[in-house]
Structure 1
Amino acid sequence: MVSSRSSILSMLLFLLLTPFVVSLHLQDRFLKCLSRNSESSFPFSTVLYAPNNSSFNSILLSTAQNLRFTLPSVPKPELIFTPLKESHIQAAVICSKKLEIHLRVRSGGHDYEGLSYVSEIERPYIIVDLAKLRSISVDIEDNSAWVQVGATNGELYYRISEKSKTHGFPAGTCSSLGMGGHISGGAYGAMLRKYGLGADNVVDAHIIDVHGRLLDRKSMGEDLFWAIRGGAGGSFGIVTAWKVKLVSVPSTVTVFTVTKTLEQGATKILYRWQEIADKLDEDLFIRVLIQTANATSQGKRTIATSYNALFLGDATRLLQIMHHSFPELGLARQDCIETDWINSTVYLAFFPNNTPPEVLLQRRNIVKLFFKAKSDYAKEPLPETALEGLWDIILEEELPTVAFTPYGGKMSEISESQIPFPHRKGIRFMILYSANWQDAKENVAKHVDWTRKVYKYMQPYVSKHPRETYVNYRDLDLGINKRTNTSFTEAGTSWGLKYFKNNFHRLAFVKAKVDPDDFFWHEQSIPPLPFHMR
């Protein structure tokens, strides 16, 4: 009996300690390789974290935005590597290849399916966390800035504003987005109708390729430079910095938020918005955020549609445009807040009123939730009857968010093949559906099923052949690569054409050129184009 109990205890102890032993062995081999492949005597042990390190969990969770992928049951990396400069990443790529260690690369952690820091298939894997590569150099005379990929878009906005009140950059409204993944997938924001995407305004880049070489636009070639601006992160190499073109903004801009409930005629107003949102003056961006709200003191739930806007100009001209083009909203002067561009970015990120712009340097997302999301593109207005059916589905979920983002303007003028991001001419607006919850004990399947239900309901009303979706709103429901035999045809028919349309073939061609052995692989990475299809 004693011997049996001792054997059981030994087995349990072995099972508990095995992951730490594996990590320590891997850490030792990785450290030795890094030292051999680095020109300096840098102490790499200070930027490499195994699970037994007291800082491991805090670093792992530091930028993970979707709390679904932070639970104990989710696979964890064997190591987290936090490089301080590009040469450290070069050594990491070389050593990962030599030691056959799978890499996940994280810049901001906003990946909707956690692919930048979770691998359900590849074991062992390590995270290369780029959060410490944060330098930003703004050159107002050249109308440009170099920004490392670990910096957030909020930090970039702030550093631009330090140099000029009449320059900006057209990227996302959530201020904690890491610039690496954000621009890699396109990067849309409140100035997309005026200036296009963040990726449309990139003029150079630094990337570390599969051989560990540091390349700029000239040395990487135009094919690879094309692919990394909107072809999504994690497929071609590790982008370390972008050179972006700054855009002009007026010294005075205007923001507003006007909310209409069903009881206030929300359905008819939203139908009208769908008709005109992509045709408005390109200085005007009005998105619609749709959520549930209490209609009465008794707690009856209703739908609230919030029109959240940025206008590149003063309130007087804005009101003239609104009264002519969208009087149904009833915008009044008291709804309008005149400010400067940098403070408008704080407003659009939903920080409390009068929050100083220094909050952008805190790199924080004010809301962290568990969520599952999907996206669509609409080419025609949803009929009022379709909106009414959508309201019924939204009311079934506790904390749903549906967002309509207008296109038109500059977005319609840029060719679908200019960069890999193809959703351009003919798109009226993009749609995001998200089920959100705050308790880890919630029934996850219930919320995921809701997103699938609303996505299925919307099928008749959105783009077709393919049904387009935004790659930065990753959705593994669309399909997952096989690790041992990534099929170009299978990936294309499941998710590739939805994200990239006809650009998918060219992306796979570039992948075959720069990473034929598919070292930079993940569940929805671009597969190499088969030789017979080149």
Structure 2
Amino acid sequence: MDALCISGSPQSLVSNLEVTPGSEDFISCLRWHSDNFTSISQLIFTSTNSSFLPVWQAGVNNARFNQPDTPKPSVIVTPVNESQVRNALLCTKKHGYEIRIRSGADVPFVMIDFINMRSIDVDVVNSTVWVQAGAALGEVYYTISQKTDTLYFPAGLCPTVGIGGYLGGGGYGNLLRKYGLGADNVVDVRFMDVNGDILDRSSMGEELFWAIRGGGASSFGIVLAWKLRLVPVPELVTVFVVNKTLEEGATEIFHKFQTVMPNIDRNLHIRIQWFGENVGNTTKKTIKMAFEGIYQGTSDTLIPLLEENFPELNVTQEICEEVKMMVNFGDQPSYTTPTSLARRDWLQRFEAFLEPYVSSNPREAYFNYIDLDLGVGSDNYEEASVWGERYWKSDNFKKLIRIKARVDPDNFFRHPQSIPIFSTSLSDM
């Protein structure tokens, strides 16, 4: 959860906060629980404040979720410590607001923005790092690189992704084949439950620790910080990109890729990006596949490996580059341009075209690519299973529901695709 948004501000604080009418109760509660409300009032942004939209937009990297009709919080709170998070949580509960992530809400809702809680403490000796929830992946990588060239956290490529949500959904990256998901490399956590108590791995138990690392942590409480295992990497790794169009045999190479990669050396990871482009100087369209590889070793060992197992890719010394283990950073394109809208339409049609050839019973999806088009119904298991089983499959989804019922029985932490609560137990359904 990246932010806590609330409605509110008492009339006595008009000089500090531009008030949103009707929500004075929350701010009054926050003032009552704060040792220094003058200080915390500087961390609150109401919807009528000139800083409100810039603060809100700074946390929205996908323009799809920054449209005029996107529901926005009445107030944004940006705590600097765990005590302020707890006060905001308890006041939200007391006065009937909801804590929500950056998604729709039909009632006044509260969002905690962890922009001021992003410390990163690297322990090279023990190969671990404590990371507060507000830190982005790019910040984590950079901080680690300032301490060591031979340790790394195996996470994703997008630098602006927040560590809290990334690990809550599992988190894959370019060391997936060797070290698993990012969540597989979480060794401890500081986690605030619905009562405002702070738990670690030992005090929460292994079931909840399992659930918050892939089941969507925001369904169960608030992650304050993760303790992560750092993995060994060589001082230099080898990267390469091979571009192939359909006319150059991309389809056949892609087919070979699917048979080779499950069994090849786990030091090698290749991801594929697809692009549409014109054929030469004509108006005819084709598809280009970019095979982007990273190998935990030098090109002297990579090239013989590929020549033996994947010669069709034709990786040569000339296209290989040996670099330090860092990631390439890219920007999120605008969602509203005609090109972006056409791309989304094409992707939806392409997904339907591929459906007969991919996972089924049910068709599967990745929770960190949350898709409300899959459905949001949660009145009963039959409704919720339409989307829930696609993210987690049947047994895991049911296990998450049982854990949710134990740790958040009143369903305080909820959003359109959060783990649901039912009035009857699963065994009675």
What does residue 149 of structure 2 align with? 165
Distance in 2, matches of 1:479 and 1:472, equals 15
Shift of 1:283: 0.3
Distance in 2, matches of 1:443 and 1:334, equals 34
What does residue 94 of structure 2 align with? 98
Residue 77 (1) aligns with residue 73 (2): yes
What does residue 412 of structure 2 align with? 519
Distance in 1, matches of 2:19 and 2:397, equals 38
Distance in 1, matches of 2:122 and 2:305, equals 34
Shift of 1:278: 2.1
What is the 5 A alignment of 1:415-454? 438-439=337-338, 449-454=345-350
Shift of 1:196: 0.2
Identify the range of structure 1 (138-147 vs 208-217) with the bigger mean alpha-carbon deviation.
208-217
SS at match of 2:351: helix
Deviations 1:428-480 (A, max 9, x none): xxxxxxxxx535xx895x66554432222212111122211100011111110
What does residue 303 of structure 2 align with? 319
Contact 1:65–1:369 (8 Å) recurs in 2: no
Deviations 1:96-123 (A, max 9, x none): 111111112xxxxxxxxxxx3131x432
Q: 2:117 aligned to 130, 133, 150, which one?
A: 133
Shift of 1:170: 0.6
Q: Give the letter aligned to residue 225 of structure 1.
A: F
Shift of 1:22: 7.9
Residue 117 (1) aligns with residue 102 (2): yes
TM-score, normalisation: structure 1: 0.73
Distance in 2, matches of 1:85 and 1:21, equals 24
What does residue 474 of structure 1 align with? 370
- Structure 2: any 5+ residue segments left out of the alignment? 1-16
Distance in 1, matches of 2:425 and 2:176, equals 39
Residue 23 (1) aligns with residue 7 (2): no
Q: Give the letter aligned to residue 88 of structure 1.
A: Q
Contact 1:481–1:525 (8 Å) recurs in 2: no
Is the alpha carbon distance of 1:448 and 1:268 closer, same or farther for their aligned partners in structure 2, counting shifts above 3 Å? closer
Query: Identical aligned pairs, as a percentage?
Result: 42
Residue 460 (1) aligns with residue 352 (2): no
What is the 5 A alignment of 1:74-473? 74-104=70-100, 116-119=101-104, 121-342=105-326, 345-346=327-328, 349-350=329-330, 366-370=331-335, 438-439=337-338, 449-473=345-369
TM-score, normalisation: structure 2: 0.91
What does residue 4 of structure 2 align with? none
Deviations 1:231-251 (A, max 9, x none): 113200010100001100011
Is the alpha carbon distance of 1:248 and 1:21 closer, same or farther for their aligned partners in structure 2, counting shifts above 3 Å? closer
Shift of 1:42: 5.5
Contact 1:143–1:246 (8 Å) recurs in 2: yes
Is the alpha carbon distance of 1:321 and 1:447 closer, same or farther for their aligned partners in structure 2, counting shifts above 3 Å? closer
Shift of 1:312: 0.4
Distance in 1, matches of 2:332 and 2:85, equals 31
SS at match of 2:25: helix
Shift of 1:287: 0.7
Contact 1:145–1:243 (8 Å) recurs in 2: yes
Deviations 1:16-66 (A, max 9, x none): xxxx9982431x322211122235556222111112111111111112122
Q: 2:392 aligned to 500, 512, 528, which one?
A: 500
Contact 1:488–1:530 (8 Å) recurs in 2: no
Q: Give the letter aligned to residue 89 of structure 1.
A: V
Shift of 1:284: 0.3
Distance in 1, matches of 2:426 and 2:65, equals 37
Shift of 1:326: 0.8
- Structure 1: any 5+ residue segments left out of the alignment? 1-19, 105-115, 351-365, 371-436
Off by >4 Å, runs of 4+ in structure 1: 39-42, 446-449
Deviations 1:499-522 (A, max 9, x none): 111211111111001100100011
Q: Give the letter aligned to residue 464 of structure 1.
A: S
Shift of 1:533: 2.9
Distance in 2, matches of 1:293 and 1:231, equals 38
Distance in 2, matches of 1:73 and 1:524, equals 19
Distance in 2, matches of 1:513 and 1:314, equals 50
Contact 1:24–1:50 (8 Å) recurs in 2: no
Is the alpha carbon distance of 1:284 and 1:159 closer, same or farther for their aligned partners in structure 2, counting shifts above 3 Å? same
What does residue 45 of structure 1 align with? 41
SS at match of 1:472: helix
Contact 1:509–1:529 (8 Å) recurs in 2: no
What does residue 358 of structure 1 align with? none
Q: Give the letter aligned to residue 352 of structure 2.
A: K
Q: Give the letter aligned to residue 110 of structure 2.
A: I
What does residue 510 of structure 1 align with? 403
Distance in 2, matches of 1:522 and 1:66, equals 18
Distance in 2, matches of 1:316 and 1:299, equals 41
SS at match of 2:404: helix
Identify the range of structure 1 (258-267 vs 137-146) with the bigger mean alpha-carbon deviation.
258-267
Deviations 1:177-215 (A, max 9, x none): 100000000110000001001100101001111111122
Distance in 1, matches of 2:89 and 2:170, equals 25
Contact 1:511–1:529 (8 Å) recurs in 2: no
Is the alpha carbon distance of 1:326 and 1:447 closer, same or farther for their aligned partners in structure 2, counting shifts above 3 Å? closer
Q: Give the letter aligned to residue 481 of structure 1.
A: G
